[in-house]
Structure 1
Amino acid sequence: MFPAQEIKRLIEAGMACDYVAIEGDDGVHFTGIVVSSAFEGLPRVRQHQAVYTTLGRLMGNDIHALQLQTYTPAKWAEVRQELGL
């Protein structure tokens, strides 16, 4: 079982982030939101790959699945307002 808090820590250590939230109850399947200016100009698949890179070999091993929502800071400001966060 892998803790969601450790995934959050690894992502934050591996890239500059404005916001990271990771959740998962079973220790192998997780969902998360990552906000980073590093995503500017990148297609969604490249954004996700950038996050997966921070997790290295854990992806597919200790972390079976990580469903991501990635945003630039500007897009996050819009979405956050829509969601009332």
Structure 2
Amino acid sequence: MLPTPELVKTYIAAGLDCSHLEVDGDGQHFTAVIVSTAFAGKRPIQRHQLVYAALGDRMREEIHALSMKTLTPEEFAQQ
């Protein structure tokens, strides 16, 4: 069974405190907008690593591709 965007959203939310979280996708390829205070002071690669850690083995086993925009609440408010 392919994961749904809602399922991927719950996976991320369970492992990372998000103030805003959007996930879209087709079961294999997903896009996400993730807003978290945990991203403050971190480079983009470090932010992505936090998301990958939240997803754990699901990133290898269930999710084929995840394109993400990772923002702090301040960055998100400026958009």
TM-score greater than 0.5 by the shorter chain: yes
Task: Within 5 Å, give how 1:1-85 maps onto structure 2.
Answer: 1-25=2-26, 27-79=27-79
Aligned-residue RMSD, C-alpha: 0.7
Distance, in Å, in 2 between the alignment partners of 1:15 and 1:61 is: 20
Q: Which runs of 4+ in 1 moved over 2 A?
A: none
Task: Return the letter of the residue paired with 1:29.
Answer: H
Percent of aligned pairs sharing the same letter:
40
Q: TM-score, normalised by structure 1?
A: 0.88
Using structure 2 for the length normalisation, give the TM-score.
0.94
Task: State the 1:32 CA deviation.
Answer: 0.4
Structure 1: state its 5+ residue gaps. Answer: 80-85
How many angstroms apart in 2 are the aligned matches of 1:71 and 1:31?
14
Q: Distance in 1 between matches of 2:71 and 2:29?
A: 21
Q: Output the CA distance in 2 between the equivalents of 1:29 and 1:10.
A: 15
How far residue 15 of structure 1 moved from its aligned partner, in angstroms, is 1.2
* Structure with bigger gyration radius: 1
Aligned pairs, number: 78
SS of the equivalent of 1:69 reads strand
Which whole-Å CA distance do the structure 1 matches of 2:64 and 2:14 have between them? 21
